Amino acid sequence: MFSGFGSVRKLKFIFLTIFSISVTPFSLAQDALIKTEQYTLKIDTLASGLVLPWSVALLHDGLILVTEKAGNLRVMREGRLLERPVSGLPPITPRGQGGLLDVVSHPDYRNNQVIFWSYSAGADGEVGTDVARGRLSCQGDDCSVSEVQVIFSQKPKASAGQHFGSRLVFDRKRHFFVTLGDRGRQDDAQNLSNHLGGVMRITETGGIPADNPFAKRDGAMPEIFTYGNRNVQGAAIHPRTGELWATEHGPQGGDELNILRSGRNYGWPLITHGRTYGLGRAIGQGTEREDIPKALKIWLPQSIAPSGLSFYTGTLFPQWRSSLFLGSLREQLLIRLTLDGDTVTSEERISGLGRVRDVREGSDGALYVLSESTGKLFRLTPAQ
């Protein structure tokens, strides 16, 4: 397949591209300023020293949760990062891009203190994405989860270390989206008899919603909401329409922003703008097909490696209302998309925050940005 020194370089490129481990170190001063098109941003560092952080959840009681990929769920309280991680989580099996990944709170967290988290789990060399729920409580600096239930377990498991997906989003019916990747088995993304390469929809306790598109189809996994998705790592509910928007990793180029609608096939690996790593060859049958929804935006020729997704609805940045924010791992950016309905009209790239793994809007209207490469959680507000 390859020969000589060139093959070594190509394989090295493939490895770094797939696992995204190459980062550029830099330092961001406390209370730094970053200039954008509409605002000068004040950047406050809320937490530092995080190890490969993946997700941040802003809870209604003022707690902030941060996942670290190796398996630690960290808690911030009253502006302080607690030293000890949350106890009581089920066993986590870190593997490549897998580990402890997303974390979200129940829509009624104020009353029930229930949280949900996604993680890679398995044994005998086979791992996959699982989702669990539990009740969070803290006594002093010791926090734990109890009444833990695993409510989803990806089938089949796989030995590969890539494409776990893992964003968790509640819809307006309080059903639960779980985004997944193809685990490197790309052809299985077109196979409805497994969970690979799709987005699942379950109830908050792991049941099957009656209106799921394949709930009554023989031979299909009843959890499937969409299929033909390579690796969805950004997902958010549109604040006006209630539809699920998602960003998906392409291979070499071809990252996508889509509206994910019930029962639809999003094409991977039959239809894609991406190319094979290193060689740059076309994949599948082409870039468009009549029955495959067209992406709202496609990043070409290079991938941005999208992660984290959040609509802005607050009042702290009035000129950014209805903007869509996402992280870029490869380019080390926070990206802002301006929307006109379902049309992306412009893109602004905000640098200086490192590899942005997650972005969330707080109840205070600030943007909370989790930086994987710096190991920091930032709070963004307009500079006075």
- Chain segment 269-300, per-residue pLDDT in tens: 999 999 998 888 999 999 999 999 999 999 99
Q: Is residue 382, in this structure, part of any structural domain at all?
A: no
- Chain segment 27-41, per-residue pLDDT in tens: 454 568 999 999 999
CB atoms within 10 A of CB 284: 14
Q: Is residue 306, in this structure, part of any structural domain at all?
A: yes
Q: Is residue 125, in this structure, part of any structural domain at all?
A: yes
Q: Rounded to an integer, what is the distance from CA 202 to the centroid of its chain?
A: 18
Tell me the pTM: 0.91
Q: Is residue 335, in this structure, part of any structural domain at all?
A: no
Cα angle, residue 327 at apex, residues 285 and 99 outer, rounded to 5°: 85
Provide the domain count of the chain. Answer: 1
Q: Is residue 153, in this structure, part of any structural domain at all?
A: yes
Residues of the chain with pLDDT > 90: what percent? 89
Q: Which of 106, 163, 195, 273 is catalytic?
A: 163
Q: What is the CATH number of the domain that holds 313?
A: 2.120.10.30
CA dihedral over 201, 242, 57, 183, signed as positive or negative: positive
**Active-site residue, 238 included:** no
- Chain segment 195-227, per-residue pLDDT in tens: 999 999 999 999 999 999 999 999 999 999 999
- Residue range of the domain that includes 184: 48-317
How far apart, in whole angstroms, are the C-alpha atoms of residue 168 and residue 372? 19
The DSSP bridge partners found for residue 120 are 129
Residue that has been written with the tokens 């609509």 in this structure: 311
